[in-house]
Amino acid sequence: MFNRSAWKLIQFRPGNPIYLLAAALIPAVLSFGVLIIAGLQGWASSSFFEFSEGGVTVLRGPWMLGDGAQGWGLFMANVAITAVWFASLNSLVAVGEEFGWRGLVQHHIIERLGFVPGIALLGFIWGIWHLPVNLAGWNYPETPMLGALVLFPLKLIAVSYIMAWLTLRARSFWPAVVQHGSGNGIGVAVMSSLTFSAGTTSLTGSLVQIGLTLVLAMLCVALVLRDVRAQRRT
């Protein structure tokens, strides 16, 4: 039966565009963070880029402003524009999923359980929803059981807190759509460009990515709880 009251709670308007932009860039920032840490530690190098003090040589990849030698300003613009473009394209696929998770379920689960436990449960369910493909080795081919049962749910719990902050601030589920699309676009692309050194595997990159995502998630939790306390005082 159609639930009109639940339908009215779904926030269809895109809200402040700054949150849409942030949602497009966050996966790029996280994946480049992995690239930088892995490079500095000698764990991996990227087949997409060569870095120097003066800028970056873009070796290959579908970058909107082209490849070749680029100064830091041009390179960052290249990454940002590419992230936004592919986030927009992949959002066409992600919109159905995020309409359900962030558009429909998020409000009710926070209302019933509270922000921290509610979003943790939502992220866990989202992670387990991917169980069949992960057990088949889709995201963690070297360790499918660990990936499917532990790493991917942990990652999506962290991502859910980031998406929750964006959607609550924007009062719209569209930033979650954009972040989901960006993660499946530039986020996956940059991570897939890593070539790991002897003695390390793609699991190393995944663990670094999860660690960085958890740090950002904790910041988002702190920001949401600060806003909740501020509302209670008014």
Question: Which is nearest to 191 in space by CA: 86, 91, 84, 46?
Answer: 46
Q: How far apart are CA 66 and CA 169, in angstroms?
A: 34
And the tokens for 130? Answer: 């991917």
Mean per-residue pLDDT over the chain, rounded: 93
If one counts every other C-beta atom within 10 angstroms of the C-beta of residue 118, the result is: 20
Domain ranges of the chain: 16-227
pTM tops 0.75: yes
Residue 110 DSSP SS3: helix
Q: Which long-range contacts (CB under 8 A, 24 or more apart) does 101-104 make?
A: 101/126, 101/160, 101/176, 102/163, 102/164, 102/167, 102/173, 102/176, 102/177, 103/10, 103/11, 103/12, 103/173, 103/176, 104/6, 104/10
Task: Say if residues 167 and 13 touch (Cβ distance below 8 Å).
Answer: no
Pairing of strands 55-58, 194-196: unpaired
Task: Say if residues 52 and 39 touch (Cβ distance below 8 Å).
Answer: no
Task: Say if residues 49 and 28 touch (Cβ distance below 8 Å).
Answer: no
Model confidence over 108-140: pLDDT tens digits?
Answer: 999 999 999 999 999 999 999 999 999 998 899
Q: How confident is the model at residue 8 (pLDDT cuts 50, 70, 90)?
A: low
Model confidence over 171-220: pLDDT tens digits?
Answer: 999 999 999 999 999 999 999 999 999 989 899 999 999 999 999 999 99
Residue 50 DSSP SS3: strand
